[in-house]
Structure 1
Amino acid sequence: MVQYNPKDWITFIFRFHKSDTFRKLLPMMVFIGLYSAGICYLEVEYWKLSENSHVKNISIMHGMLGFVISLLLAYRTNTAYDRWWEGRKLWGALVNNSRNLAIKLSGILKDEHDKKYLRFLIPTYASVLAKHLSNEEVGQLLFENTELKINLEKHRPNQVAQVIFHKINDLYVTGKISGEQLIILNTELQSFTEVCGACERIKNTPIPYSYSAFIKKFIFFYVMTLPFGYVFNLGYYVVPVVVFIFYVLASLELIAEEIEDPFGSDANDLPTNKIAANIKKHVEEIL
């Protein structure tokens, strides 16, 4: 995730980050510029269309459709941001529940070996979940002389959650925690799987293809018809104007594409690995 100072305007304006939409759209912007220049040459120099040509009235269509495309893009970006923010809230809940579980266990457990084992298992769940959502390999996680084996063909976070619950249940069976204490711990144990399921819902339910494809086509044909009408008023200045309009509209769509899946590896995706590392740090401090 990109770290930045929101008050530093100069950096925002004149620095182009590797995730900036300008870099990604540059080839298409060059093409749009050449295309607009070609249309301008044909209408002004080759065909020599007059000011009374009906082609000039095409700009009326752009005025009518401008409001529609602005509504579509606003809804698109808001929907994508809602998915990103919901993902951040879910990982915030995972942080709090991991801390709460560690705090309760630190007061309940007396055996240092049990604390040590759970000190490893609780942050392991967050780490495995982060890798699961980003489709990274997990492999085997070593802990002292034992191995927590992760079967890559099965649901990886569920396997860790199952080990945690079995450990808590063993503590109950052996009398190290009471039935009331087991009920107190159940809320945090259950929340792990709930967070995982909600994150998977976001990841596995993308924006419908037809909706995303329609917006891209709408932007493309809207921009490609701009030079025909505005060349009469702007002349060759239509080239930078059309390029800028394309940059603005296409950038909004690119931003929405990037943040609608907050668990990927893009620059603006959630720093799940960093959050998992913070969970590990805090749990180790508590236990």
Structure 2
Amino acid sequence: MIQYNPKDWIIFIFRFHESDTFRRLIPMMIFIGLYAGGIAYLELELWQLSDKSHVKNIPLMHTTVGFVLSLLLAYRTNTAYERWWEGRKAWGALVNNSRNLALKLSAYLSEESDRNFFRKAIPIYASVLSKHLANEEVSLTLFEGLDLTINHHTHSPNQVAKILFQKANELYTTGKITGDQLYLIKDELDSFTGVCGVCERIKNTPIPYSYSAFIKKFIFFYVMTLPFGYVLSLGYYVIPIVVFIFYVLASLELIAEEIEDPFGNDDNDLPTKKIAENIKKHVEELL
């Protein structure tokens, strides 16, 4: 995730990073510019259309359709951001519950071996979940110092959650914690799987294909019809104007595409690895 100062306007305007939509849209913007220039040449030079031509009334259609398009893009962007923010809230809950579990166990446990187990096992869940959501293979080095093995053909976060539950139950059956204490840490243990479920729902349920495809087609045909009517009013100035309109509309769709799945490695995705590292740091301090 890109770290930045929201008050640095100059940097925002003149700096282009790898995920900037301008870089990604350059080939298509060149094509749109050439296309608009070709339409302008045909209407002004070859066909020599006059101001009385009915073609000049085409922008009336764009005024009406543009309003509908703006509503669709606003809904698309808001929906994508809601998915991104829901993912961030889920990882915020994981941070808080990991801290709370470590706080309670630090008060309940007296044996160093038990404290050491949870000191390593609690952060492991966050690290495994981060890799699971990014479709990365879980490294065995994560479990160094613990008698744990992970089957890569099964659900990795569930395996770690199972181990945590088994250890908590062992503490209860051996009398190291009471039934009341086991009940008090149950919510934190349950919440780990709950957070995983929320994140998997976001990742595995993309925006419906037909909806996403319709918006892309809508933007394309809207922009491709712009030069026909505006050439008679703007002349060859229609080229930069049409390119700019395409840049704005297509950028909104690209941004929505990137943030609707916040668990990848894109610049605007959630920093799950950094959050997992913070969980590890805080849990080690508490235990």
- Where on the TM-score scale, by shorter chain, does this alignment land: which range? over 0.9
Tell me the equivalent position of 2:168. 168
Q: Secondary structure at the match of 2:143?
A: strand
Q: Secondary structure at the match of 1:103?
A: helix
Tell me the equivalent position of 2:263. 263
| Contact kept? 1:139, 1:152, Cα under 8 Å | no
Structure 1 spans left out of the alignment, 5+ residues: none
| TM-fit CA distance, 1:194 | 0.4
Tell me the equivalent position of 2:81. 81
| Contact kept? 1:134, 1:263, Cα under 8 Å | yes
- d(CA) in 2 for partners of 1:48, 1:272: 59
| Contact kept? 1:99, 1:282, Cα under 8 Å | yes
Correspondences of 1:109-120 after superposition (within 5 Å): 109-120=109-120
Correspondences of 1:245-256 after superposition (within 5 Å): 245-256=245-256
Tell me the equivalent position of 1:97. 97
Are 2:251 and 1:236 aligned? no
Cα deviation code 1:218-251 (max 9, x no counterpart): 0000000000000001000000000000000000
Correspondences of 1:94-173 after superposition (within 5 Å): 94-140=94-140, 141-144=142-145, 146-173=146-173
Tell me the equivalent position of 2:72. 72
Q: Secondary structure at the match of 2:255?
A: helix
| TM-fit CA distance, 1:139 | 3.2
> What is the RMSD of the two structures over their aligned residues, measured on CA atoms?
0.7
Tell me the equivalent position of 2:193. 193
Tell me the equivalent position of 1:216. 216
Cα deviation code 1:52-85 (max 9, x no counterpart): 1111111111011110000000000000000000
* Structure 1 stretches of 4+ moved >3 Å: none
| TM-fit CA distance, 1:160 | 0.2
One-letter amino acid of the counterpart of residue 54, structure 1: H
TM, length-normalised to structure 1: 0.99
Q: Secondary structure at the match of 2:191?
A: helix
Tell me the equivalent position of 2:44. 44
One-letter amino acid of the counterpart of residue 237, structure 1: Y
The count of aligned residue pairs is: 286
| TM-fit CA distance, 1:113 | 0.7
Correspondences of 1:48-67 after superposition (within 5 Å): 48-67=48-67
Tell me the equivalent position of 2:183. 183
| Contact kept? 2:124, 2:143, Cα under 8 Å | no
TM, length-normalised to structure 2: 0.99
Tell me the equivalent position of 1:32. 32
One-letter amino acid of the counterpart of residue 95, structure 1: V
| Contact kept? 1:33, 1:239, Cα under 8 Å | yes
Tell me the equivalent position of 1:203. 203
Cα deviation code 1:184-226 (max 9, x no counterpart): 0101000000000011000000000000000000000000000
| TM-fit CA distance, 1:17 | 1.2
